Amino acid sequence: MQNHEYDVVIVGAGPGGSGTALHLKDSGLKIALLDKHKFPRDKTCGDGISGKSSTILKELGLFDKIFELPHGPGYGVWMSGPNGVDLIVDSRQENPNAKPHGAVIRRYDFDNFLFNNAKQMPNVDAFEQYTVFDLIKEENNYVGVLAKDKDGNTHEFRAKIIIGADGAGSVVASKLGVAIRDPDHYVSAVRAYYDGVEGMREVIEIHFVEQALPGYFWIFPLEGKKANVGIGMLDRDMRKNKVNLAQLMENLIMQHPKFKDRFANAKRLTNIVGWTLPLGSKRRKPYFNHVLLVGDAAALIDPLTGEGIGNALLSSKLAAITIKEAFQKNDFSENTLKMYDQLLKKHLDPELQTMYRIQRLGSVKWLLNHFFNRVNSKRELRELITSTIVSEDTLKYKKKLTDPIFLIKNLFL
């Protein structure tokens, strides 16, 4: 067995893991960044880089560089209700010179971009094709991880702090006993890449089709006429209605009146693949003695949109703040690391709970239809949706969407 000593060991080099390393750039800490894959590698996802992601990328000085990757620029959103009524929000409607506030970038490219920026830092050692399979525990403290390299050799990585950033199927979260799958707070999704999709507008498309409520069918435009196309649905409803998601997606593409003409000449470029998303409506305990969980491993996915990249990047920032505090105090116990949970409660929980309430409202078909019927005729409601998407402070607008007085005024008066 080979032994390695570091200040911080990060398990998983996606947005949460690489983001944590990037936020520790000037910390002086010696970091090991481990991933079971060799980069670049694919990651099943919707590929949307949201306004929240953009904000963190700007703080890291990386935002402008993402547009050098193959991408579809994001100027807004095109939503539709079960009744087929559309709402299109495009920042260029108000300002023809508006710049994209986000993008659609394949995770193959985006994660590789983040990983390459992280591993180039002098305080980071990157280990690709190292599969973590266990935590090292001494008394009540987690003091390292065990990993196998591509040749099957076992390595011991010891550190003062371990970061679990290894995604929805997190080994770290599982070993900590917090990876419990609740069908009320888990989403299953499938996606494939298509070419030749007609009618795209350089905005992401979210279509609330009746068969998947409160989930949705999406078309996220990439370069040219290529798109990431998929559908997501709560595990609870999928099991109850015995839905085959891949089959449902193909049926929508071939038969739904809103989509069949747009896909008439389209070609599917990849297999339809699936994954699971642990929602932040029931997030996990994210701190233990010497351990923090970030991103999907901490179950921080948006309960309405299913977006995970932005929350992974935000949690990586909050984790880095906590790590610096722990090293300053030389205390890596739960008592100090609970600061991370407090930061999540302050900066993320209000949004997660708001989006969960909107998700529950969205499961009521007649209310969702009524919303789309009203939104185009009610200026205040339309402006609210626009601000929710393009504003840097989206939470205060999202909260309005669950304010009973606001909803009654705009939906029923």
Q: Can you name the residues that pair with 31 across neighbouring β-strands?
A: 8, 124
Token pair listed for 259:
């989509």
Statement: residue 399 has pLDDT above 90: no
- Tell me if residue 289 falls in helix, strand or coil: coil
Query: How long, in residues, is the chain?
Result: 413
User: Quick one: average pLDDT of 69-74?
Assistant: 96
Q: Tens digit of pLDDT for each residue in 261-278? A: 999 999 999 999 999 999
Q: Tens digit of pLDDT for each residue in 214-260? A: 899 999 999 999 999 999 999 999 999 999 999 999 999 999 999 99
DSSP E strand stretches across 111-224: 124-128, 131-138, 141-148, 154-158, 161-164, 186-195, 204-207, 216-221
Going 346 to 232 to 90 to 19, the CA torsion angle's sign is positive
Alpha helices in 262-394 (DSSP H): 309-329, 334-347, 349-362, 365-375, 379-390
Statement: residue 90 has pLDDT above 80: yes
Statement: residue 411 has pLDDT above 70: no
pLDDT confidence of 396, banded at 50, 70, 90? low
Domains of the chain from N-terminus onward: 2-42+108-181+280-350 (3.50.50.60), 51-102+183-278 (3.50.50.60), 364-412 (no CATH)
- Tell me if residue 33 falls in helix, strand or coil: strand
Could you give the CA distance from residue 217 to residue 260 in angstroms, rounded to a whole number? 13
Phi, psi of 230 (to 5 degrees): -165, -175
Could you give the CA distance from residue 261 to residue 281 in angstroms, rounded to a whole number? 36
Q: What angle do CA 155, 158, 159 make, to 5 degrees?
A: 145
Q: Tens digit of pLDDT for each residue in 175-203? A: 999 999 999 999 999 999 999 999 999 99
pLDDT of residue 19: 98
pLDDT of residue 384: 66
> 164 vs 123, 133, 286, CA distance in Å?
19, 12, 9
Q: Tens digit of pLDDT for each residue in 4-25? A: 999 999 999 999 999 999 999 9
